[in-house]
């Protein structure tokens, strides 16, 4: 007796070809080794619909985690984003008649769109500071790229000789990178290495100044008078420039405020919202420096070599790179408005 049941697509084609060539059902069955019933069913379906269907996809072992099980697993993920594969499997199996293994859990999670990823790191923003960020965004939502070209951006950053390999991983879908349960909050902290202060505008990169010790008001006053002042007066001779700085204590010292008041006819200090590194494009330049440091063939072994490498990388940042960052400012403002002052993906 010939083969019965469902055929694959190639076998369907053989049946249709044989019948189309004028062979009878009996001749086709004898030639191909299929039953007469199968030959008849496949050819009738092709004549009626112009195509054949294979039910082979229904074959194989039944999935251990059905739609209801996937919903259960999804709730476990939502309840604890940092759960390991072992914990998820253990929690899923509680109260279930048929238990599953970790491999099945991994396969199911991937089928549901979840992948294990590092959480996006964002600053912890208080309610008060969210309001201030939202106020700043609303005040500048009509600024164009041409307006942002008049801003000179500044910040400090520390680069370390050695980096921690600690990793925290979470389970999330592709579009959940900014979900609150998928974030790890960070706070400012010190560390060993080289600290630098830098500034730039859409027009050019500014100076990068190594800071030997902790940056206090006296040291910052020297930076402002020796670097900020000549940069602003050169780049914005019409006194239409804005100087951006964050709200670090040394930036808000009385001697600094008094100096800016004495020079307010030359440029304006931009009133900056607290806890807003995502609004400052220079943060991305620090990322560029960090990536280039890690990509060096020969890594610095002491602080002097590290400082030289940082200065060299800064000097070689392309104009296209930092201009693109300034041009992103309208989008950053929109992101803060959309987040109602909360964290953004920048």
H or E stretch covering 37: helix 36-49
Per DSSP, 141 falls in state T
Per DSSP, 94 falls in state T
Nearest 5°: phi and psi at 158?
Answer: -115, 135
pLDDT of amino acid 140: 97
pLDDT of amino acid 51: 63
pLDDT of amino acid 189: 40
Measure the CA angle with vertex 201, ends 242 and 231; round to 5°: 70
H or E stretch covering 200: strand 194-200
Classify domain 127-339 by CATH architecture: 2-Layer Sandwich (3.30)
pLDDT of amino acid 5: 54
pTM of the model: 0.65
> Consecutive 10-residue runs of the chain (346 residues): their mean pLDDT?
59 75 81 81 78 54 84 92 92 89 92 87 85 96 97 95 62 82 59 86 96 89 96 95 95 96 96 94 95 90 93 96 97 96 89
Fold held by 1-59: Arc Repressor Mutant, subunit A (1.10.10)
Nearest to 255 by CA among 225, 212, 214, 210: 225
pLDDT of amino acid 54: 54
């Amino acid at each position: 007796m010939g083969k019965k049941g469902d055929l694959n697509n190639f076998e369907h084609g053989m049946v249709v070809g044989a019948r189309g060539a004028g062979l009878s059902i009996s001749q086709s069955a004898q030639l191909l080794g299929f039953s007469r019933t199968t030959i008849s069913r496949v050819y009738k379906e092709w004549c009626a619909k112009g195509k054949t269907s294979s039910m082979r996809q229904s074959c194989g072992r039944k999935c251990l985690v059905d739609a209801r099980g996937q919903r259960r697993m999804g709730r476990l993920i939502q309840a604890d984003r940092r759960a390991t594969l072992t914990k998820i499997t253990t929690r899923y199996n509680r109260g279930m008649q048929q238990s599953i293994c970790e491999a099945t859990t991994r396969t199911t999670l991937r089928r549901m769109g979840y992948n294990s990823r590092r959480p996006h790191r964002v600053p912890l923003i208080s309610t008060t500071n969210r309001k201030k960020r939202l106020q700043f965004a609303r005040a500048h939502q009509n600024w164009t790229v041409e307006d942002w070209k008049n801003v000179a951006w500044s910040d400090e950053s520390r680069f370390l000789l050695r980096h921690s390999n600690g990793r925290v991983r979470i389970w999330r879908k592709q579009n959940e990178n900014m979900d609150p349960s998928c974030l790890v909050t960070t706070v400012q902290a010190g560390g060993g290495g080289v600290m630098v202060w830098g500034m730039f505008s859409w027009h050019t990169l500014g100076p990068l100044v190594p800071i030997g010790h902790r940056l206090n008001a006296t040291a910052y006053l020297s930076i402002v008078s020796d670097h900020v002042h000549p940069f602003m007066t050169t780049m914005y001779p019409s006194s239409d420039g804005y100087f951006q700085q964050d709200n670090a204590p040394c930036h808000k010292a009385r001697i600094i405020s008094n100096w800016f008041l004495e020079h307010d006819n030359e440029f304006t200090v931009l009133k900056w919202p607290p806890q807003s590194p995502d609004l400052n494009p220079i943060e991305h330049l620090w990322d560029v420096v960090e990536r280039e440091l890690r990509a060096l063939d020969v890594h610095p072994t002491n602080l002097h070599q590290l400082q030289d490498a940082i200065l060299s990388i800064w000097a070689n940042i392309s104009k296209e790179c930092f201009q693109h960052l300034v041009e992103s400012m309208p989008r950053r403002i929109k992101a803060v408005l959309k987040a109602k002052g909360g964290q953004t993906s920048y």
